[in-house]
Structure 1
Amino acid sequence: MDSTNLRAVLAQWATGVVIVTTTRDDGQRHGMTASSFTSVALDPPLVSICLASTSTTCRLIRRSGVFAINVLGHDHEDISRRFASPNIDVGDRFGLGQWQRAPSGAAVLTDAVAWLDCAVAACHPAGDHTIVLGLVQEAAAPRPAPPLIYHDRTYYEGIAR
């Protein structure tokens, strides 16, 4: 399977956008934009994210044992782009939006549509990625709003309620 073709095909799947955050050894925040997030189970409360196995985020989540998922709203495109940019220093990514620490120490966006604070339950290798299973410790839905959607390498505002 040609990876370029596969990427083009998979880009046809519309998905929500999240910011995954965790903490570094020095206590500083770290985060990245992701679209490979899903709920897994209600009992126990489990979610998953898929991360490139060689990424800094994957390494830090494995080391810290915690992460938070911040579900972005239709008006968070700038934040998503900031956390996706390799040209912006990781610490500077938190310069946009208001952030607070969840009980785990990971950062949560105060006006996120929703956030989940998780402890790592398991990590499963999957090709060049790692499936990280998170046991949800805390969760909140601070602001009802249409979601930010990503499809065919383009952002879209979710359908208004």
Structure 2
Amino acid sequence: MDSRYLRTVLAQWATGVVVLTTRTEEGGHHGMTASSFTSVALDPPLVSVCVASDSTTCRLIRSSGVFAVNVLGCDHEEIGRRFATASATDRFAVGDWDIATTGTAVLTDAVAWIDCVVAACYPAGDHTIVLGLVQDAATPRPAAPLIYHDRTYYEGIAR
């Protein structure tokens, strides 16, 4: 299977947009936009994210042992784009960020955020499936979600 063609096919799956955040070795914060996030279990409370195995994000999540999932609202397109751009100098300069229980950054006006410790990491091709044990979570505000489909952002259906 040609990977470029498969990417085009998979882009037809509409998904929500999240920003994954974690801590750096120096005590700072790092983040990236992702669409590969899912709930796994309620007891114990588990979620999963998939990140490229050779990425800075994967290395930092493994070394810090923590990450947060910030669910973006329809008005967060700028944040989604900023965290998806490798050349962004200070990704956290946009948005109002707070620090969660594990020390990860959480967006104060996210639709939801989930703060996790790493429960396990599983290799999966060129990616790593990171299983997170939920430590804390919040729904700061009700809002339509930011949706990603066919390499384009869309506002979700309003409530």
**TM-score normalised by the chain length of structure 2:** 0.99
Q: Which moved more, 1:114-123 or 1:80-89?
A: 80-89
Query: 2:96 maps to what in 1?
Result: 98
SS at match of 1:9: helix
Counting only pairs closer than 5 Å after superposition, residues 1-40 of structure 1 correspond to structure 2 as 1-40=1-40
Report sequence identity in percent. Answer: 76
Q: Distance in 1 between matches of 2:92 and 2:110?
A: 14
What's the CA shift string for 1:74-123, capped at 9, x where partnerless?
A: 0000000000001112xx10000000100100000000000000000000
Query: 1:144 maps to what in 2?
Result: 142
Q: Which runs of 5+ in 1 are unaligned?
A: none
Q: Distance in 2 between matches of 1:118 and 1:86?
A: 24
Q: Distance in 2 between matches of 1:83 and 1:43?
A: 31
Q: Distance in 2 between matches of 1:75 and 1:120?
A: 29
Counting only pairs closer than 5 Å after superposition, residues 1-161 of structure 1 correspond to structure 2 as 1-89=1-89, 92-161=90-159
* Count of aligned pairs: 159
**TM-score normalised by the chain length of structure 1:** 0.98
What's the CA shift string for 1:107-146, capped at 9, x where partnerless?
A: 0000000000000000000000000000000000000100
Q: Distance in 2 between matches of 1:8 and 1:25?
A: 36
Q: Distance in 1 between matches of 2:4 and 2:18?
A: 24
Q: Which runs of 5+ in 2 are unaligned?
A: none
Q: Distance in 2 between matches of 1:146 and 1:88?
A: 26
SS at match of 1:13: coil
SS at match of 1:4: helix
Q: How much does 1:6 deviate? A: 0.3
